[in-house]
Each structure stands twice: as C-alpha cells, then as structure tokens.
Amino acid sequence: MSRSQGPSSLKRKRPESNSLSQSLTDQERKLYDVIRSKQDMGIWTRDMKRETNLPDNVVNKSLKALQAKNLIKEVVNIQNKGRKHYMATEFQPAKELTGGSWYVEGSLDTEFIKILRKFCVDFIAELKVATLEKVTDLIRRNGVFAVDVTQQQVEEIVRTLVLDNEIMEVKSNGMGEFASVPIGKVCYKLIGKGGLGGELKAKTGAMASIPCGVCPRISHCTPDGVISPKTCVYYTKWLDF
C-alpha cells in the first residue's frame, strides 16, 4: 500500500509573470486570477462565472485554454461530486475538498480502513485493556503502513469499532486489569470472552430472528388478509430448510 499523506504542499515554482501575461487573453487572465485567489480551496464554475461576470461560453472556453496551458486543474469536491471544481495547479486540494485522509481519488479508501480496523482490534485483543496511545504506538511500530498513521486516525477507527459493538469504551478505575492505566483514563476492551466463543457483538435478538421482525409489510399484515402469516412468502422461505 502506498499512501502519502502529509501536510498540504502549497506551491511549486511559479511560471514567469511576463510570459503568463503574454500568453493569456484578458478573460483568461481574469478567470485565472479568480481561481488562483482561492488557493487550495478552489472554486466552482458557477461561482467563478458570478465573480468574473463573464458569459458562459467565454468561461468555458477560457477554462479549456487554462487547462491546456497547465495553469489550472479540475479537482473532485467530496461535498459535491457533481460540481466542476477548479484550482491553480500549484496548489494541493484542501481537506474540505478531498474528504481528508480517508479518501483517495474522491472515494473512501475502504481497503485502508479495513486493514487499520483489523490491526486495532488485534492489538486491543492482545493488550486486553488498551489506551489510544498504546494502540497507536503499536501500529506505528508495526511498520505495515507506508504512511504515518496519526493518533486522530486511530481514534476515528476505534470510535467506529465501538459503534460496531466490537469493542467497548471503559474508564479505568486503576485496579485489577486497569492497574497500569491512570484512574479515569478512557481505554478499550474487546467485547466477548473466550468462554462464550469469543464473540458477543450484536447477537440477533428475538424479533430479528423471525421474518416478522424485519418485515417491511408488517403494518399491512392481517390474519386473513392478502398479506397474512398463512400466505407469507418470508415465512415459507424461512421454514424451507
């Protein structure tokens, strides 16, 4: 896996202004100045049309020309993928546009997330009681990722593991298994013990284990109606074992 995530680099070497002014028309220049002024946030085409007051066809033509001269580039805005967003080539898109460290080419990097989740779970299981710092340290020392995994990233992953009911968040009372953790410090434990097969997680409840519990038509179901337990296809499928 190769993921380079670092602080946004701002500028490359600027082309000479004299040569730039010679190669750009007035409209292109005006448009380029507006785009460049937005730095790493870039600008939406509709906004640039409003700010420059240039007609649509002029803007479209100028954008093509600027792109051809490698002065601007189109970037994906994760908040509004349908919009055409441009910025000067010397800038790297801001986090607000890219979605941050979890995104690659405008989409969630699910593979990266999945692997990082697995490592977090494995280390928490190994440590029995783990703080965020310990897990982050183990991941960094493991060296499996080409990029530097920050504690904030680990924290975000760990929070989703809590939401997925794979681990639980507890506060240390300084005793027993928490002896090495300061009192009141938030730490994490794997949910489920070996005695019960090691997995508790989200066990299927009573309602969820029968067709009625998850039926989208239950409000239309009546004993002798068109939809009824006697005629229910979900029941038939459930009982066909």
Residues that bind another protein (CB under 8 A): 78-79, 96, 99-100, 102, 107-108, 113, 156, 159-160, 163-165, 168-171, 173, 175-176, 191-193, 195-196, 200, 202-210, 212-214, 216, 218, 221, 223, 228-230, 232, 235, 239, 241
Measure CA 147 to chain center: 16
* Least spacing, CB of residue 193 vs another protein, in Å: 6
CB 33 within 8 A of CB 17: no
CB nearer another protein, residue 15 or residue 106: 106
CB 169 within 8 A of CB 162: yes
* Least spacing, CB of residue 230 vs another protein, in Å: 5
* Least spacing, CB of residue 21 vs another protein, in Å: 33
CB nearer another protein, residue 64 or residue 95: 95
CB nearer another protein, residue 55 or residue 174: 174
CB nearer another protein, residue 66 or residue 99: 99
